[in-house]
Structure 1
């Protein structure tokens, strides 16, 4: 919602709404959505692909260039996820022409340059190819656009098989190599649990739509498994944790993969429960009973 400069996304108690009359199609909501759930129709945010130079050409519509391939409503609608997809498809350089972002009413402070830094940092940690960013003036960009179109390299974006034939993908690393690199990988978002605060309620593991935090094992091997590569940064785990035990770190290594749990049986209600192994034993009372006065409905009757 905050990413939209025209407040076209409206949230109320029942649902998230969309005001079509307010939307100008800038696309800034697209990179802001951690789930990648937003699409901009009509090809308005498609770069012009130059297979000869392994380049993607994009130019802001506020450069006053005539409408055509590669002209987009806003450069900054290309976030980290979109740049990753381009790099995965073999693009090596972004060739961009921009308007005056400082005076643009669409400006929200989120930039394609910042997204590129995040994308490249993470890709470098995995030994994957990174993207270069070339800024050019509008006239030079238009000349490059004309050359690409004349050479018939303006490939239909929906036909990825054809695109892959011209921009060759980088070979994937072997499983052994990938495992060796994984310890040094910078993830875009890393969830962490503060074991000194965690009460083992499982709320974070139950609500995570991608299994970035999950309850695994059983008996003495019960534990929370943390898989940072699955985390999108949706922040649902932060919202649901009522003891603030969950935190998210951005562009970081995952250092906490397992949180071991110990099981007990509550001596008040008799229900099994678990908590981090490093938590103090306490009184053998579950988190519910610790906050519930079981005698509140008992009364002394005198005759």
Structure 2
């Protein structure tokens, strides 16, 4: 909360409070005195980018304040309920929720300022993420602090990006127990576990990611010992790797594709409930290429492509979040989804089903895929 209106911030991101002046107050001042505005910067939804109209509800389930609801065809954030924890930002699969201080571009710039100090910078380079405010811990000159509103705003992209930009390790100071944001600690623990699994697949030791609890005695001493251990160990293999190119997908997918290509062989696949990616499989013989699943997919992971001769159902692994909307809408029961990450498949489209297009025998106009016509013929035959 700041007393002055932040400059250069769109008003849609500002939450205004009116508080009485500080110091002792008379009854008259309390009732009739001037109120001083205070400002918080909170997220807002870019309605034109939101895919809630397709059934996406990732931000609604991620918000611990229940401050997000549907408003027509898009989600909307109720500023009166929102306290700016930022948990909705990593949850949105299409980047439709923005917050100027927590946008990927801003966070990337903050990380670069902290980590790219050149060869003269203190070693090892440790990033301390401080959630829910509070003073940074005393530990070592090589520790740079980045404050975030809550643990919900700590994303896998932020953690992996810091390692790529030069962090030898990351220490996290989570929210206090019973914090005002009511953070979903189970969701965060799941995200942290997934990040450690990715690091392990990339040959990075999981203990380079340290959680320091606020209730822990001697936190500063532990952090200093952590820095000394890392100094003896030396840098990891990701340090100094170039930044990934944007492929128009999510920043996390672009980063994982980039990291997966650095080694001599692609990392082994990752499966499990905490994996934020999905792998769609289709029983091709049952799929009629009706187009229902691409119409319902909130991220564009499924696309129906047709040319003069064939119809194809295409799948982009990098865009799939395993929401299972395709399973629910498929009239043939032909779709299966597994929570799975394969870095080697993040940069390409896969053909899940394909069929020949049948043309009108008289005029040559495209009619429909052959399996769809057979399905219709079968149903008409049963009706007769």
**How high is the TM-score relative to the length of structure 1?**
0.63
Please give the alpha-carbon distance, in whole angstroms, between the structure 2 residues aligned to 1:109 and 1:76.
8
Residue 240 of structure 2 is matched in structure 1 by: 168
Gaps of 5+ in 2: 1-59, 116-120, 138-143, 224-238, 244-257
Aligned to 2:367: 272
Is 1:198 the counterpart of 2:270? The answer is no
1:42-90 Cα deviation digits (max 9, x unpaired):
459967745633322112326x537995232212321223333333323
CA deviation after TM superposition for structure 1 residue 4, in Å: 1.0
Correspondence for 2:92: 33
Q: For residues 144-163 of structure 1, what are the structure 2 equivalents within 5 Å?
A: none
Contact 2:310–2:356 (8 Å) recurs in 1: no
Q: How many residues align?
A: 263
Q: CA deviation at 1:246?
A: 3.0
1:265–1:228 distance in 2 versus 1, CA, 3 Å: same
Q: Kindly report which structure 2 residues correspond to 1:45-194, keeping only aligned pairs within 5 A, or say none.
A: 49=114, 52-61=123-132, 64-65=134-135, 70-101=146-177, 106-122=182-198, 124-125=200-201, 127=202, 129=204, 132-136=208-212, 168-169=240-241, 181=266, 184-186=268-270, 188-194=277-283
Distance 1:233 1:19 in 2: 27
C-alpha distance 261-20 of structure 1, shift in aligned 2 (>3 A) = same
- Which TM-score applies when normalising by structure 2? 0.52
Distance 1:14 1:200, change over 3 A: closer
RMSD: 4.8
- Distance change (3 Å), C-alpha of 1:54 and 1:290: farther
* Whole-Å separation in 2 of the counterparts to 1:220 and 1:93: 54
Shift of 1:209: 7.1
Could you say if the C-alpha distance between residues 34 and 84 of structure 1 is closer, same or farther in structure 2, counting changes exceeding 3 Å? farther
Change (3 A) 1:217 1:289: closer
Task: Choose the corresponding residue for 1:285, options 357, 373, 378.
Answer: 373
Q: CA 1:227–1:59 in 2, change beyond 3 Å: closer, same or farther?
A: same
8 Å Cα contact 2:94-2:299 kept in structure 1: no
CA distance in 1, matches of 2:125, 2:97: 27
Residue 293 of structure 2 aligns to a residue in which SS?
Answer: helix
1:185 positional shift: 4.1
Residue of structure 2 equivalent to 1:155: none
Please report how far the alpha carbon of residue 23 of structure 1 lies from its aligned counterpart in structure 2 after TM superposition.
0.8
Deviation at residue 195 of structure 1 after TM alignment? 3.3
Q: 1:207 to 1:192 in 2, by over 3 A?
A: same
- CA separation of 1:74/1:265 partners in 2, compared to 1, >3 Å: closer, same or farther? same
Q: Counterparts of 1:86 and 1:176 in 2: how far apart (Å)? A: 16
Give yes or no for contact 1:58–1:75 (8 Å, CA) kept in 2: no
Secondary structure of residue in 1 paired with 2:195: helix
Shift of 1:106: 1.2
How far the C-alpha of 1:37 sits from its partner, in A, is 2.7
The Cα of 1:140 is off from its aligned counterpart by 6.2
Q: CA deviation at 1:144?
A: 10
Displacement of 1:234: 6.0
Higher relative contact order (CA 8 A, sep 6+): 1
